[in-house]
Chain A
Amino acid sequence: MVVETHLRHAATVLLEAAIRIAPPDTRDWGQAMRGELYHIEGAWPAVMWALGGAGVLAKQALASFLIPGRRGIVPDGGLFTKNTSLRKAALVTGAGFALAALLFFAAPPFRQAFRVAMRPWYILFERTSTDLQRDFGTLAKRAAARHDPQGLAFCAVRLYDPRESARLAGEAVRLDPSLLWVYAVVSMRHPELPEVDHWVGELERRDPQNGLLHLIRAESIDRAHFRHLVWTRPTREQDQAWQTAMAAAFQSPKFDDYLDRVAELNRRVVPSYGFYDPYEVVDRARLELPYYAFENSERYAKSLLHSGADLEARGDRKAARGKYWAVARFGQVIDSQARTAIEHWAGTSLQSMAYTQLQTSYENQGDRAQGELFGYLATKFHPVTGEHPKMAEEPAFGLSISSRNAAVVESSALMILVFGLLALVAASILIVDSRRGARPATQRAKPVATMVVLTSAVGLLFSSVTLYLTYRPYWYIFQGAIENGGRSQTRDLSIFLASTPAPLLLSPRGWLDALLYSGSPSFLFYFWASLTLLGLIGIGLVLLRHFRDRARTKRVSA
Chain B
Amino acid sequence: MKAPRISRETLLVLARFVDRPGDWRYGYDLSRDTGLKSGTLYPILIRLEKYALLEARWETTENGVPPRHTYRLTPTGLELAQVKLAESRVDWLQQPLKQGV
A232 to B61, CA, bound (A): 105
Q: Nearest 3 pairs between A and B by C-beta? A: A52-B39, A32-B69, A52-B38
Measured between beta carbons, the chain A residues less than 8 angstroms from B20 are none
Return 26 A-B CB contacts under 8 Å, by A number: A26-B46, A29-B45, A29-B69, A32-B42, A32-B56, A33-B38, A34-B66, A35-B66, A35-B69, A36-B28, A36-B68, A40-B101, A45-B100, A52-B38, A52-B42, A55-B39, A56-B38, A73-B43, A74-B50, A75-B47, A79-B53, A80-B4, A81-B5, A82-B43, A83-B43, A440-B8
**A333, chain B: closest CB distance, angstroms:** 78
Is B27 in contact with A32, judged by CB distance below 8 angstroms? yes
Interface code A45-66, partner B: CB below 8 Å = 1, 0 otherwise? Answer: 1001111110110000000000
Q: Interface range on chain A: under 10, 10 to 19, 20 to 34, or 35 or more?
A: 35 or more
Q: How far is the CA of A422 from the CA of B50 in the complex (A)?
A: 36
Residue in chain B with minimal CB distance to A443: B5
- In the assembled complex, the Cα of A391 lies from the Cα of B101 at a distance in Å of 69
> Would A73 and B46 count as touching, CB distance under 8 A?
yes
**Told that A48-B38, A49-B28, A73-B47 touch, could you supply 17 new A-B pairs with CB distance under 8 A?**
A29-B45, A29-B46, A32-B42, A32-B56, A32-B68, A36-B27, A48-B37, A49-B101, A50-B38, A51-B39, A52-B37, A52-B39, A52-B40, A73-B43, A80-B7, A80-B10, A437-B2
A residues whose Cβ falls under 8 Å from a Cβ of B: 26, 28-29, 31-40, 45, 48-53, 55-56, 72-75, 78-83, 437-438, 440, 443, 556
- Chain A residues within an 8 Å CB radius of B40: 52
- How distant is the Cα of A36 from the Cα of B56 in the complex, in angstroms? 14
* B7, closest chain A residue (CB): A82
- In the complex, chain A residues whose CB is within 8 Å of the CB of B51: 74, 79
Which B residues touch A74, using CB under 8 A? Answer: 46-47, 50-51
Bound complex: CA A82 to CA B6 (Å): 9
**B residues lining the A interface (CB < 8 Å):** 2, 4-8, 10, 26-28, 31, 37-40, 42-43, 45-47, 50-51, 53, 56, 65-69, 90, 100-101
B91 (CB) vs chain A CBs: closest residue: A556
With A35-B66, A81-B5 as contacts: A40 and B37 at CB distance below 8 Å = no
**Please, which residues of chain B bring their CB within 8 A of the CB of A37?**
66
User: Which residue on B lies nearest to A53, using beta carbons?
Assistant: B38
Chain B's nearest CB lies how many Å from the CB of A213? 79
Give the docked Cα–Cα distance between A73 and B66 (Å): 24
Closest residue of chain B to A440 (Cβ to Cβ) is B8
Q: Provide the bound-state CA to CA distance between A258 and B21, in Å.
A: 94
Contacts A33-B38, A36-B27, A40-B101 given; indicate if A79 touches B47 (C-beta within 8 A).
yes
Give the residue name and chain of the A residue nearest to B64 (CB): A38
Instruction: Give the distance to chain B from A9, nearest Cβ to Cβ, in Å.
Output: 14
Residue contact A80 to B5, C-beta cutoff 8 Å: yes
Question: Which B-chain residue is minimally distant from A40 (CB atoms)?
Answer: B28
Chain A residue with Cβ nearest B1: A78
The answer to whether A48 touches B101, judged by C-beta atoms less than 8 angstroms apart, is yes
Residues from chain A with a CB closer than 8 A to the CB of B100 are 45, 48
Chain A residue at smallest Cβ distance from B67 = A35
A53 touches B6 (CB 8 A): no
Task: With CB as the reference atom, state the residue of chain A lying closest to B8.
Answer: A440
B4 contacts across to A, CB distance below 8 A: 78-81
Q: How far is the CA of A28 from the CA of B2 in the complex (A)?
A: 33
CA of A153 to CA of B55 in the docked complex: distance in angstroms? 84
CB neighbours (8 Å) of B39 from chain A are 51-53, 55-56
B45 partner residues in chain A, CB cutoff 8 A: 29
What CA separation (Å) do A50 and B37 show in the bound complex?
10
Distance in angstroms between the alpha carbons of A82 and B45 in the assembled complex:
12
Task: Given A29-B42, A56-B43, decide whether A443 and B69 contact each other with a Cβ distance below 8 A.
Answer: no
